[in-house]
Chain A
Amino acid sequence: MIPFQMRPDEILSETRGFNEKLAKGVGNLMDVGEIPSGVTPKEPVYKEDKLVLYRYKSEKPATNKTPLLIVYALVNRPYMTDLQENRSTIRGLLDAGQDVYLIDWGYPDAADRYLTMDDYINGYLDRCVDIICAHHGLDKINVLGICQGGAFSLCYASTHPEKVRNLITMVTPVDFKTPDNMLSHWVQNVDIDLLVDTQGNIPGEMLNWTFLNLKPYQLMAQKYLGVVDLMDNPKALKNFMRMEKWIFDSPDQAGETFRQFTKDFFQQNKLMKGEVQIGDYTVNLRNVTMPVLNVFAEQDHLVPPDASKALKKCVGTKDYTELSFPGGHIGIYVSGKAQKTIPPAIGDWLDKR
């Protein structure tokens, strides 16, 4: 027995309604105009290869004299944290009195294939930290790592603890082998050496589609149907387009970095075991002795909460705080609720330390 009870005229009227909304929406789509990659004013303070270190401008001087460096993931672009005026984690942090810097890794090309995690962490990241330290006449600064950037920040903080005053990790995977980690499950039987040796850099589209395929029906079809309902509102449509642009804006990942990250972190879970080797350094999370704030999303389908929460029993610090947010991997930056709670909580936590 199929409980479907619609008369043809009802179907017709629903279809008509859908059509009208879509027609209006598609018209509005033409008027959306340029979608900016980030909204808060910023200035480049350092450039190297494709990397740019930005400092964000605030209307009022920072109350916290220790600057905060945001380290974003290599996949996707960092303007997720600064999508629109009223939905900007960066704006929220500025308003909370922080002096915010951010590393934009740029788009690696085939010539960047041999960039290793050593180059990223002990090279690029370390030099950015040095530059900020020198500019402010400080020995150490605050670091906020996001997702893969969080894992990088953990590696950095454990091997250069003298340069990190406080560490914040957001939606950061630590235990890559929790039972609900779909990405990790998929990659266990993949010959990563063969993949990287053959492909060189890993195409951003490939990574992106892998992420979308975690929930293909929702993320690639149902979502657009839902948007039809709000397409008649130009502002809402523009905001949708900001997100849409971001989702599909995926840099390629340097082959050698992908090789180590996937093998050591996803396949062998070495971060948990204290066995990750980055250049001359061995990463032992016990050396993360500065205060740590670990922020995770309860409905994260990319980095399950348990993958993040594993940090608690690994770090060496006595000052460890968790902040959980009822939302998803992206919602933690862009939802209205997150906007009201997360940046002020981070600012507050930092100001006390």
Chain B
Amino acid sequence: MSTNANSWNESLMNDWADAQRKYWDTWRDFAGNAGFSPFGAGSNGQGFAGNPFNGSNPFAAAFGQNPFTQNPFNMNPFAAASTFGQNPFAQNPFAQNPFAQFGGGTNPFTGALDQWWASMKPEVQGDIGTVAQRFYDMGKNFMSMAEGVFGVTAQEQPDAAMQMWMSSMQAMLQQWITQIQNNMDIVTPDLPGISGTTLSTWAQFADSVAPWLNMSQSYLKDIAEGHLPGGIEMPGVGAAQEQFCRALSVPGLGYNREQQERMQALARHLLAYHEALRAYKLAFAKTALASLDSVQKRMQALHNEGKAIESLRALYDMWVDASEEAYGDFAMSDEYQVVYGDLVNTLMQVRQDMNALADQQYRLLNLPTRPEIDTMQRRQQENRRENRQLRREIAELRAQVEKLAKAKPAPTAKPKGKSNAPAQDSLPIAQPEDDLTEIKGIGPKMAEKLYEEGIKNFSQLAKMNKKFAEQLDEALKAQGRILREDWIGQAKKLLG
């Protein structure tokens, strides 16, 4: 395939830039049609005027600077996550482009494109906006991969360039693993198998529940300085950490003892969280290596069969399949179960400490605390449950009483000779009760409600006028059913 060098020329490069521009225009038009004005004169302070790439060929410029030597560790999904304040999950974790390293360089377009999209995105509301985001992320990945591959084919020996890219990715992962092992990893590499997985999802979630986790390393240092005369460096692994933990276990003294102990507990739990996160990242880095390995094996298998990958789409799909497979094996491993559980548990412990600290402040300000509200809500739910139970029992008892009443022999006519019977015998009995559920539309619940409103028999229903029926309907929250289902007419019929 050494012909590539010949077929790759200035005009192709321009065509490529043109294709990129069209892609850009797609999103600009989308924003324009949606009624957004991301480029509004000075409105966002970006000074954008339409396509910022018009009139220049950034691709050529980027090539001039040799984009293949860019630092691959340029994106930190953990840092990015902090901007997801209100809804940590609204973002697609694949926004971190797993293919950015195709060909080794960062895409000269994505930076500016991202900036533009970020300025416009908050205005795109609702379903369309969130779906557009997902397409935008996907398109960025795909275009970036295309650009990377395009770059590879531009090399003298494209096969070797691809091979080199693979090896360099492997080396980066190995480097990351070493960094994690030495507690030196500052950023998470933006590589397939790492970005866009549960790892970055996790970062977003963790951030949402404890927004300052990003800063927790310096926070820990501060606490440590407060406890140890002369201060202490941020503990790493081994002896330093042990010393730190011991320091955190020193009993608190003085009248703000409780506060001290809380802070100590928080610091200990933060350390535990960082430890769990490290273990999780390490397991993930190894999985990314496995997925890379799987990609290479698949390529080898294709080669052995004499087959070739003939489209970008096929390459993308193969990559997805290989990654999913490696991820699937990892996700079902015992190791994953442990690191995942530890991560959730340690984070929740930190969050709980934070809640306790916050509640302490609320108490001082004489504001209601979460535990107080919880107690109220729990009791209220218990009351509601009990109330339902009691109502049910009352309904059952009432039904039994009715049954018994019906079972009693009807009062027989008094023998004529006893006309001087005591007056109380002829006292009018309480209003008669009918089984209101005989009316279509009245169930046991509604009958109970009617009873509570004093409506106990058909004759009362039959005598209602429209206005009264409407008032009753409202009282029962029957939503117009009394008139719609003609309870009055039905009652009249039942009375004969």
Contact among A2, A23, A47, A135 for B441, CB-based, below 8 A: A135
A-B contact pairs, 25 of them (CB 8 A): A2-B162, A3-B302, A8-B150, A14-B311, A20-B22, A22-B135, A23-B25, A29-B30, A114-B380, A123-B385, A130-B444, A130-B445, A185-B336, A186-B340, A199-B351, A206-B205, A215-B324, A216-B196, A216-B324, A216-B327, A217-B196, A220-B93, A222-B316, A224-B137, A225-B138
A191 adjacent to B317 (CB under 8 Å): no
> CB distance A2 to B332 under 8 Å?
no
A248 at the interface (CB under 8 A from B): yes
> CB-nearest residue of chain A relative to B322?
A217
A227–B166 alpha-carbon span in the complex (Å): 29
- Per-residue CB proximity of B311-328 to A under 8 Å, as 1/0? 111011100100110011
Q: How far is the CA of A216 from the CA of B158 in the complex (A)?
A: 30
Q: A residues near B, CB below 8 A?
A: 1-12, 14-16, 18-20, 22-23, 25-27, 29-30, 32, 35, 44, 47, 111, 113-116, 118-119, 123, 127, 130-131, 133-135, 180, 182, 185-186, 188-191, 194-195, 197-200, 203, 205-206, 208-209, 213-218, 220-222, 224-225, 227-228, 241, 244-245, 248
Within 8 Å CB of A10, what residues of B? 311
Residues of B contacting A115 in the complex (Cβ-Cβ under 8 angstroms): 381
Q: Given A4-B159, A7-B7, A23-B26, output 15 extra A-B contacts at Cβ < 8 Å.
A: A2-B162, A2-B303, A4-B299, A6-B311, A8-B12, A11-B150, A19-B26, A26-B26, A29-B128, A123-B388, A199-B348, A206-B205, A208-B89, A216-B196, A224-B138
Taking A2-B163, A22-B23 as contacts, is the C-beta distance between A12 and B15 under 8 angstroms? yes
In the complex, the answer to whether B444 meets A8 with C-beta atoms within 8 Å is no
Residues of chain B within 8 A of A5, CB atoms compared = 1, 308-310
> Which residues of chain B in 275-311 are interfacial with respect to chain A, using CB atoms and an 8 Å cutoff?
299-300, 302-303, 307-311
**Option from A7, A19, A119 in Cβ contact (under 8 Å) with B153:** A7
Q: B433-451: which residues lie under 8 A (CB-CB) from chain A?
A: 437, 441-445
**Which B residues lie at the A interface, using CB under 8 A?**
1, 3-4, 7-8, 12, 15-16, 19, 22-23, 25-27, 29-30, 33-34, 87-90, 92-94, 127-128, 130-132, 134-135, 137-139, 141-143, 146, 149-150, 153-154, 158-159, 162-163, 166, 196-198, 201, 205, 209, 299-300, 302-303, 307-313, 315-317, 320, 323-324, 327-328, 331-332, 336-338, 340-342, 344-345, 348-349, 351-352, 355, 374, 377-378, 380-382, 385, 388, 437, 441-445, 477, 479
Q: Are B381 and A194 in contact (CB under 8 A)?
A: no
Is A119 in contact with B198, judged by CB distance below 8 angstroms? no
B64 to chain A, nearest CB (A): 18
Given contacts A12-B15, A182-B332, A218-B324, contact A30 B33 (CB under 8 A): yes
Contact at B348–A191, with CB atoms within 8 Å? yes
Query: Is the Cβ of B146 less than 8 Å from the Cβ of A29?
Result: no
Cross-chain contact A245 with B445 (CB below 8 angstroms): no
Determine if A3 and B94 form an interchain contact, defined as CB atoms under 8 angstroms apart: no
Give every chain A residue within 8 A of B159 (Cβ-Cβ): 1-2, 4
Taking CB atoms, residues of chain B closer than 8 Å to A214 are 331
Q: For residue A18, which residue of chain B has the nearest CB?
A: B142
CB distance from B404 to the nearest CB of A (A): 21
Cα distance, A9 to B132, chains bound together (Å): 29
Interface centre among B153, B197, B388 (most CB of A within 10 A): B153
Q: By the criterion CB–CB under 8 Å, are A19 and B23 in contact?
A: yes
When distances are taken between beta carbons in the complex, the residues of chain B under 8 Å from A180 are 332
- Listed residue (B4, B336, B385) with the most chain A CB atoms within 10 angstroms of its CB: B385
Determine whether the beta carbon of A194 is less than 8 Å from that of B196: no
Whether the Cβ atoms of A19 and B320 lie closer than 8 Å is no
Residues of chain A contacted by B309 (CB below 8 angstroms)? 3-6
Interchain CB contact under 8 A, A216 and B198:
yes
Q: Which residues of B contact A218 (CB under 8 A)?
A: 320, 324
Q: Is there contact, CB below 8 Å, between A7 and B132?
A: no
CB nearest neighbor in A for B305: A3
Q: Which residues of A contact B201 (CB under 8 A)?
A: 209, 213, 216
Q: Is the CB of A3 within 8 A of B303?
A: yes
A353 CA / B29 CA spacing, docked (Å)? 58
CB within 8 Å for A114 and B381 given contacts A32-B128, A206-B89, A217-B320: yes
Q: How far is the CA of A44 from the CA of B481 in the complex (A)?
A: 12
Is the Cβ of B308 less than 8 Å from the Cβ of A3? yes
B388: chain A residues within 8 A (beta carbon):
123
User: Whole-angstrom distance from the CB of A41 to the nearest CB of chain B?
Assistant: 17
- Shortest Cβ gap from A55 to chain B (Å): 13
Nearest opposing residue in chain A for B165, CB measure: A2
Residues of chain B lying within 8 A (CB to CB) of residue A11: 146, 149-150, 153, 312
- Find chain A residues with CB under 8 A from B158 CB: 4
Q: Is the CB of A222 within 8 A of B8?
A: no
Could you say which of A134, A198, A215, A220 contacts B348, with CB atoms under 8 Å apart? A198
Whether A29 and B320, one on each chain, are in contact in the complex, defined by CB atoms closer than 8 angstroms, is: no
Minimal Cβ-Cβ distance residue in B for A181 = B332
Query: For residue B443, which residues in chain A have a CB less than 8 angstroms away from its CB?
Result: 130-131, 133-135
A221 touches B320 (CB 8 A): yes
The chain A residue with its CB closest to the CB of B89 is: A205
B308 near A216: Cβ-Cβ < 8 Å:
no
* Docked CA distance A7–B312 (Å): 11
> In the assembled complex, which residues on chain B have CB atoms less than 8 Å from the CB atom of A185?
331-332, 336-337
- B332 contacts A26, C-beta separation under 8 Å: no
| Cα distance, A123 to B385, chains bound together (Å) | 8
Bound Cα distance from A220 to B15, whole angstroms: 30
Asked whether, in the complex, the Cβ of A225 is within 8 Å of the Cβ of B338, the reply is no
Q: How far is the CA of A219 from the CA of B143 in the complex (A)?
A: 19
Q: Which residue of A lies closest to B334 (CB)?
A: A185
CA distance A46 to B489 in the complex (A): 23
Instruction: From B299, B323, B344, give the contact of A3 (CB < 8 A).
Output: B299
Chain A: which residue is nearest B312 at the CB level?
A14
- Rounded to whole Å, the gap between the CB of B297 and the closest CB of chain A is 12
A-side contacts of B352, CB under 8 Å: 194, 197-198
Does the CB pair B26–A222 fall under 8 Å?
no
Q: Chain B's nearest CB lies how many Å from the CB of A238?
A: 11
Please tell me which one of the listed residues A47, A198, A200, A221 contacts residue B141 in the complex, with CB atoms under 8 A apart.
A221
Are A244 and B385 neighbours in the complex by a CB distance under 8 Å? no
Chain B's closest residue to A242 (CB) is B127
- When distances are taken between beta carbons in the complex, the residues of chain A under 8 Å from B196 are 216-217, 220-221
| Cα–Cα distance between A180 and B331 once the two chains are bound (Å) | 11
Complex-state Cα separation, A37 to B392, whole angstroms: 34
Contact B92 A220 (CB under 8 A): yes
CB distance A244 to B341 under 8 Å? no
Given A12-B12, A12-B19, A225-B138, A217 contacting B312 (CB threshold 8 A):
no
Which residue on chain A has the smallest CB distance to residue B30? A26
The 4 A-B pairs at the shortest CB distance, nearest first, are namely A189-B341, A134-B443, A205-B89, A224-B138
Nearest Cβ on chain A to B307's Cβ, whole angstroms: 6
Task: Name the residue on B nearest A49 (C-beta).
Answer: B384
Contact B300 A1 (CB under 8 A): yes
* Chain A: minimal CB distance from B273 (Å): 13
**Chain B residue nearest to A133 in the complex (CB):** B443
Q: Which residues of B sit under 8 angstroms from A35, Cβ to Cβ? A: 127
Using CB atoms, name the residue of chain B closest to A279.
B385
